Amino acid sequence: MLSRRRLIGGAGAALALGLMPGGLSAAPLAKVKALGTIRVVVYQNNRPWSWEEGGKLVGLDADLAQAIATKLGVRADVAQLVADESADDDLRNGVWKGGLLGFTPGDIMLHVPFDRVFAARNDQVAIIAPYYRESFGLAGSGGMAVEAMPTEWKGRKLAVELDSIPDFYLIGSFGGVLAKDVTHYPTGSDAVAAAMAGQADAVLASRAQIEEGAHRSGGKPLALRKGPLPAFASPGWDIGMAVKENSRTLGDAVEEIVTAMGTSGEMKALFDRYGVTWTPANAAG
Amino acid sequence: MKGPMMRALSGAAALSLAVAAAPLIAQAPQGPTDADLMNDAASTGDVLTYGMGPQAHRFSTLKAIDTSNVSKLVPAFAASLGGEKQRGQEAQPIVYDGTIYVTGSYSRVFAFDARTGEEKWQYDARLPDGIMPCCDVVNRGAAIYGDKIIFATLDARLVALNRNTGKVIWNKQIADYKEGYSATAAPLIVKGMVITGNSGGEFGVVGAVEARDVNTGELIWHRPVIEGHMGTLKGKDNGITGKLNATWTGDLWKSGGGATWLGGTYDPETNLLFFGTGNPAPWNSHLRPGDNLYTASTLAIDPDTGVIKWHFQTTPHDGWDFDGVNEFIPFDATINGKPMKLGAKADRNGYFFVLDRTNGKFISANKFVMQTTWANGFNKAGKPNYIPEGRPPAPGEGKGKPVFASPSFLGGKNWMPMAYSQDTGLFYIPSNDWGMDIWNEPIAYKKGAAYLGAGFTIKSIAEDHIGALRAMDPKTGKIMWEYKNKAPLWGGVLTTGGNLVFTGTPEGYLKAFDAKTGQELWKFQTGSGVVGSPVTWEQDGEQYVAVMSGWGGAVPLWGGEVAKSFKDINQGGALWVFKLPK
């Protein structure tokens, strides 16, 4: 079936109004404190942000969820959401309505794109607290001319995540000359691991995936391309969090915490533990 | 058997008892046999297969209810599926030995007394909350065999229940729901094997057809439908599907799509299974040059080995989500003075195909919807005459400028099965006239990361209708009559020897039409939209008609301006059974 990123605007909103009993609404700040628990939604299998290792949920978002809960003086109930076909759908499943099969919405969801156009069409939620600037980057092993024109990479093994902007760029650009050289992996993190293990000459993935992958393997870091990729579709994006539209008291409290973590150096330290350079969101000013 | 008596039996005695009992069981079958299933179209006292016969004609020779008296049809009873889980009810009932078996939304099975409507038992599958069904939590029906009722679940399992008690006999995972697989189709049973397709909207899913032992659920053969993948038979390699990289670039065949989510039909005459395959991945066709075999195709498969005997691709290099899963219905007709074994399929792409079912040779393709913007007919070789402007652009090109495409991605015909009358020689197609605006969506995100998506909105193309039930003459390609419906049609069709055609509407009606003229003769309001498939059978000397009511399925999930046509329809979940008053 077609990739379904289309519960855009009107239809989604109309559905929301009819299907949101008050009892299920995510608790604003006072309720979270009274309950002593905040339900934080993160993505399932989203290394380096949130993934399971040895039966334990780890990652940047997992740690951030714990940090926020601690500062609110409550316990974190971290729930893993299976990504649907668009982040718009994820907000519906994870924040304002819940899943069709019974996934309980969270009080807050992490790893939500902080983008004005995206926010405008998802008016059931408030998108808050931008905490990182993400972007895609190309990294290659020794002997790979990472700064060269991409067409010169013909014949080299290029690793990407299946069905991603890096995938579309490498198989579709330049008349598709690199299409045969691309190997697809289930996640960007897997693509980085392949490059670190020498199974691929270069990888096009998110910067966090590349840095954490190098840090994890302890091997020689890949060389990151400094120049922009010609005609590449994404300049990067900010990552924030989402609360239900009527949970702004909670949103404001979390935003204060996140801002303070940035200023105090705590956020940088949290990212350092995974080998990822903390880059403040553009919108964080 | 009581405990003390069991303990009293020595090992040898128990063994001899078992040996003695075996022939008795064989002599007294506990339910429908393979032969019964193959004879389902002719046996009027039951409904044993999805499609009312392995060829899925959905035709009954019963004629107690006919054009002269159908207006008097009244409910015998209704049975609610209850609970809060009232979503789309797309199932076709199975009727056997005084019991009606239906599946419901959220992977549930119900057994109702066929005379009173009282519930005998109910089975609710326990579903994990991590399933992401693309198109509502529907199920299209169960299969019956011996003492078993077998159905597929949203978390991609096959479950065999004892048909008298509803207790689980076996329960097998057929694919991993965590990888995006699901299952909603009714299983097909042929030669003691359960034959299933697979479904999944997620990227990375590869379509396959599988056969399992009906008594144990153990895999017998596995046939991937994308070229390059290895098939298996009894645990051993059984040849690659197609030829590696013949119509795919790089390693894209590994995640090529082609889900066989609607199941299949079987033709005992040619001993062939017919399965349709879904559209290719990725969605953007510019990234995957080539025909992308065998996506958007009909495949003929040998049920004994799982080997593909022929294929016909209805939408080569699909770029519109015209997946080719629709049912291929075997029928015989005389073409140019020559009696032929044929098969027909009304495709998502708006064309009605007739093929030689012995070899897949193209006979004809005729439009059954108002408009096809993607192609202007098919040439003699069976290839579409593409309209280049009708292909959605590659992401990054023509940014923001929508392309209008018709049919919409929901298709000229979606999952809902058509019927073929052996009396009139016509196919009755539940179709929809609608288009879509499709554009590149530059601000899109997937799993929290930037992505290049497509946005689209479904649009009406006619003032007075979206749905249209059409009678197609397969020999001429002419539409003999049509019934227009305001909301999209989403339910299956039944035709009978009483010169009748039955189908349901989202507005909540089950309707009956004159099979020759299309004149509407009867309707009944069931209280919620009808998106299931009606059946008919004879019981205690009377003819019965049954259908599921319960609005849902993919249509209400996508909306657009089309949503106006069904905004006042409420959800439900009930089995309705009708007969003539005495």
Nearest to A270 by CA among A280, A261, A260: A261
Task: Name the residue type at position A246.
Answer: N
Q: Is A103 on the interface with B (CB under 8 A)?
A: yes
Q: What angle do CA B103, B109, B111 make, to 5 degrees?
A: 105
Q: What percent of the residues of chain B are helix, what percent strand, and what percent coil, each to the nearest 5?
A: 10, 40, 50
pLDDT over 60 at A7, yes or no? no
- In the predicted model, what is the mean pLDDT of residues B150-170? 97
Q: Does residue A12 or residue B85 have the better pLDDT?
A: B85
pLDDT of residue B201: 62
- In the predicted model, what is the mean pLDDT of residues A2-9? 34
- Please tell me the total number of residues recorded for chain B in this structure: 582
Residues 6 or more apart whose Cβ sits within 8 Å of residue A134: A206, A207, A208, A236, A237, A238, A239, B449, B450
Task: Name the residue type at position B188.
Answer: L
pLDDT over 50 at B180, yes or no? yes
pLDDT of residue B412: 97
pLDDT of residue A12: 37
Dump strand ranges (E) for B73-164.
74-80, 94-96, 99-104, 108-113, 119-124, 143-145, 148-152, 157-162
Q: Which residue shows structure tokens 């949101």?
A: A20
Residue B183 in tokens: 């299952």
pLDDT of residue A5: 33
User: B201 and A184: CB-CB below 8 Å?
Assistant: no
pLDDT of residue A285: 61
pLDDT of residue A241: 98
Task: Name the residue type at position B397.
Answer: E
The confidence band for B461, taking pLDDT boundaries of 50, 70 and 90, is: very high
As for the ipTM of the complex, it is 0.89
Model pTM score? 0.91
Residue B26: φ, ψ to 5°: -65, -35
- In the predicted model, what is the mean pLDDT of residues A219-239? 93
Lowest mean pLDDT among A26-30, B220-224, B269-273, B359-363: A26-30
Lowest mean pLDDT among B29-43, B192-206, B276-290: B192-206
End-to-end CA distance of chain B: 45
- Please name the member of B133, B394, B456 whose beta carbon is closest to the beta carbon of A172: B394
The confidence band for B204, taking pLDDT boundaries of 50, 70 and 90, is: confident
Give yes or no for a cis peptide into B294 (omega within 30° of 0): yes
The confidence band for B202, taking pLDDT boundaries of 50, 70 and 90, is: low
Residue A184: φ, ψ to 5°: -100, 140
pLDDT of residue B27: 38
pLDDT of residue A26: 44
pLDDT over 70 at B215, yes or no? yes
The confidence band for B134, taking pLDDT boundaries of 50, 70 and 90, is: confident
Residue A268 in tokens: 């940088």
pLDDT of residue A136: 98
pLDDT of residue B396: 64
Which residues in chain B have Cβ-Cβ distances shorter than 8 Å to A237? 445, 449-450
The confidence band for B463, taking pLDDT boundaries of 50, 70 and 90, is: very high
Q: B492, B534 in Cβ contact below 8 A?
A: yes
Report the alpha-carbon distance of residue B446 to residue A82 in Å, rounded: 11
- Please name the member of B133, B202, B563 whose beta carbon is closest to the beta carbon of A11: B563
DSSP string, B487-499: SPP-S-EEEETTT
pLDDT of residue A16: 37
Residue B140 C-alpha from the chain's centroid: 7
Segment (H or E) for B504 = strand B500-504
pLDDT of residue B442: 78
pLDDT over 50 at B8, yes or no? no
- Please name the member of B129, B278, B457 whose beta carbon is closest to the beta carbon of A99: B129
> Taking a contact as any Cβ pair under 8 Å apart, which residues of chain A between 145 and 164 contact chain B?
162-164
Task: Name the residue type at position B401.
Answer: K
- Please name the member of B254, B448, B454 whose beta carbon is closest to the beta carbon of A43: B448
Compare all CA atoms of chain A with the CA of B206 and give the residue at the minimum distance: A1
> Taking a contact as any Cβ pair under 8 Å apart, which residues of chain A between 6 and 45 contact chain B?
6-8, 10-11, 14, 43-44
Q: What is the pLDDT of residues B252-299, one digit of tens each?
A: 999 999 999 999 999 999 999 999 999 998 888 889 999 999 999 999
pLDDT over 90 at A11, yes or no? no
Q: What angle do CA B407, B413, B416 make, to 5 degrees?
A: 155
pLDDT of residue A3: 38
Residue B465 in tokens: 């209708």
The confidence band for B348, taking pLDDT boundaries of 50, 70 and 90, is: very high
pLDDT of residue B554: 86
Is B323 catalytic? The answer is: no
- How far is it between the farthest Cα atoms of chain A? 60
Report the alpha-carbon distance of residue A112 to residue A95 in Å, rounded: 11
Lowest mean pLDDT among A41-45, B6-10, B157-161: B6-10
B385: buried, middle or exposed (CB in 10 Å: 19+, 13-18, 0-12)? exposed
Report the alpha-carbon distance of residue B427 to residue B481 in Å, rounded: 11
> For a pLDDT cut of 90, what percent of chain B falls above it?
80
Give yes or no for a cis peptide into B187 (omega within 30° of 0): no
Q: In whole numbers, what is the pLDDT of chain B averaged over residues?
A: 92
The confidence band for B502, taking pLDDT boundaries of 50, 70 and 90, is: very high
The confidence band for B399, taking pLDDT boundaries of 50, 70 and 90, is: low
pLDDT over 70 at B397, yes or no? no
Lowest mean pLDDT among A27-41, A160-174, B496-510: A27-41
Lowest mean pLDDT among A44-53, A100-109, B114-123, B222-231: A100-109
Residues 6 or more apart whose Cβ sits within 8 Å of residue B381: B362
Q: A105, A95 in Cβ contact below 8 A?
A: yes
Q: In whole numbers, what is the pLDDT of chain A averaged over residues?
A: 90
pLDDT over 90 at B493, yes or no? yes
Q: What is the pLDDT of residues B405-450, one digit of tens each?
A: 999 999 999 999 999 999 999 999 999 999 999 887 878 999 999 9
User: B321 and A2: CB-CB below 8 Å?
Assistant: yes
Given B291, B321, B347, B433, which residue is catalytic? B321
User: B444 and A7: CB-CB below 8 Å?
Assistant: no
